[in-house]
Structure 1
Amino acid sequence: MNVKPNKPKVLFFDVNETLLDLSPLKQKIKTVLNHQDYLLSLWFTTLLHYSLVVSSSNQYKCFGQIGAASLQMIAANNGIKISLEKANNIVTNALQNLPPYKDVEDGLTLLKEDGFKLVALTNSDNNSLKIKIENAGLTHYFDDLLSIESVGKFKPFTKTYHWASKKMNIKPEDSMLIAAHGWDVAGALWAGWRAAFISRPGKQTFPLAPETEINESDLIKVANVLTKYS
């Protein structure tokens, strides 16, 4: 007889590329980088890389600032001039005006109606997080909005997941991250959390990390699994 898994006490959601579609931001970045597709992916990889450089050096700069600085670096390496002010305006404005994926509202509704506590957990700063969730029309789904700005360490640092669990007054093993990034679910699992992976196009789990207990292509499918838990 199969035993149903216990429901996590809190579901923590990554925001960018898990709930919100980065396509508008990527289009603006692509335009600045002379429509060179490979530079677009290089920009996002550089952004993630330098967020870890900042955290591992015990520093803190907001995600948008790092994104703008990364855009300047990639542009300069390819003979494109862009001021830091312009880069900041492009990245910050676009990050705050992202649409939700089509499956997100239905998936969140299913989870909310089933009694789950839903919390956003993002690398964006507090102000940006609040604005982007409001602009996407998702505020009413969440019990809390948590930014890593409060702890000063970007995901996937273990300290950040432990801080989020403590903030919600639960143990790590009672926490589940739902994310579309292999590095994020890997960090959560290594921090003692449970994890569900949304395999958005172009996203994969990290083969060297523990396996996630849920791996589905959209949030509705993840929600359908979770609502069957005991």
Structure 2
Amino acid sequence: MAIDTCIFDAYGTLFDVNAAARQAAEDTPDLAEIWQKLSADWRDKQLQYTWLRAITGDHVDFWQVTGDGLDWAMEAAGLDDPKLRERLMQLYWELAAYPEVPDMLGALKDQGRATGILSNGSPEMLQGAVRSAGIGRLLDHVLSVESVGVFKPSSKVYDMVGRAFGCAAGDVLFVSANGWDAASAKSYGFRAVWVNRAGAPVDRLPGRPDHVLSDLSGLPELVAGL
């Protein structure tokens, strides 16, 4: 079965979630030694809060969850600096794309594939990141969970792909740097690629990704061979 549609998670997959803390550390002495830990805690809490809110039904948008995660991370680091918080949140609107992303998306479009984003991010956050990275012309749809009011890995989120692209689940290759997201997409019925940038073990979940890559540069060749 040919792959017609390639769908990407956004944060950590196309966009570098560490970029905000790393950039802020360049001109903030208090962050020079701790920005990596701060960024990791921020991301961990951001994800944990999406899972918990999906279970409890207490939905808020991803901007709120991102701020809540940062507040926890800053308190854990002993940082009480409203101006730093404001700067870090502002930088999240402008996260850098990984270097290989534009060429990778361009190669998929040259192959005739439909491409899109399926993300927990709010529409405004995603628009900002896509615009900052200059990749809007390479995406057919940018889909936000705000359309269904629940975070991944709810099947309601993955359902959005079929509605937007008019395709069957088996015709979709779903790409995520989050192991749990790739596993959930596989269980849903997509073919899945896990972008394992950190070299982590595969998550012990019912779904297992069909392919594992260390970055996105080899994706067009992989898709061409499917």
TM category (shorter chain) comes to: 0.7 to 0.9
Within 5 Å, give how 1:1-230 maps onto structure 2: 6-27=1-22, 35-36=33-34, 37-83=36-82, 87=85, 89-201=86-198, 203-229=200-226
Task: Please give the secondary structure, in 2, of the residue aligned with 1:208.
Answer: coil
Task: Give the drift of 1:214.
Answer: 2.0
Runs (5+) with no aligned partner, structure 2? none
* Superposition deviation, residue 40 in structure 1: 3.0
Deviation of 1:76 (Å):
2.7
Q: 1:211 to 1:78 in 2, by over 3 A?
A: closer
Root mean square deviation, CA, Å: 2.3
Q: C-alpha offsets along residues 115-150 of structure 1, whole Å, 9 cap, x if unaligned?
A: 100011111101111121011010110111111111
Q: Following TM superposition, by how much is the alpha carbon of 1:202 offset from its aligned partner in structure 2, in angstroms?
A: 5.1
Q: CA deviation at 1:204?
A: 4.8
After superposition, the C-alpha distances for 1:178-225 in whole angstroms (9 at most, x for unaligned) are 111101101111212111122223555314343322222222212101
SS where residue 20 of structure 1 aligns?
Answer: coil
Contact 2:116-2:139 at 8 Å conserved across structures: yes
Equivalent pairs: percent with the same residue?
Answer: 25
- Mapped partners of 2:50, 2:81: distance in 1: 21
Alignment partners' CA distance in 1, 2:111 and 2:89: 35
Please say if residues 165 and 171 of structure 1, whose CA atoms lie closer than 8 Å, have aligned partners that are also in contact: yes
User: TM (normalized to structure 2)?
Assistant: 0.87
Q: Secondary structure of the residue that 1:220 maps to in structure 2?
A: coil
Question: Would you say the 8 A contact 2:122–2:144 is kept in 1?
Answer: yes
One-letter amino acid matched to 1:73: W
Counterpart contact for 1:75–1:81, Cα < 8 Å: yes
- The number of equivalent residue pairs is 222
What's the offset of the Cα at 1:34?
7.3
Q: Which amino acid aligns with 2:112?
A: G
Q: Is the 8 A contact 1:181 1:203 kept in 2?
A: no
The structural deviation recorded for 1:59 is: 2.5
Do the aligned residues in 1 keep the contact of 2:182 with 2:208 (CA within 8 Å)?
no
Please list the CA deviations of residues 57-87 of structure 1 after superposition, one character each: whole Å capped at 9, or x if unmatched. Answer: 223222222121122123334543244x863
Deviation at 1:47, TM superposition (A): 1.0
| TM-score (norm. length: structure 1) | 0.85
Measured in 2, the distance between the counterparts of 1:78 and 1:197 equals 31
Letter in 1 for 2:17: L
Unpaired segments ≥5 residues, structure 1: 1-5
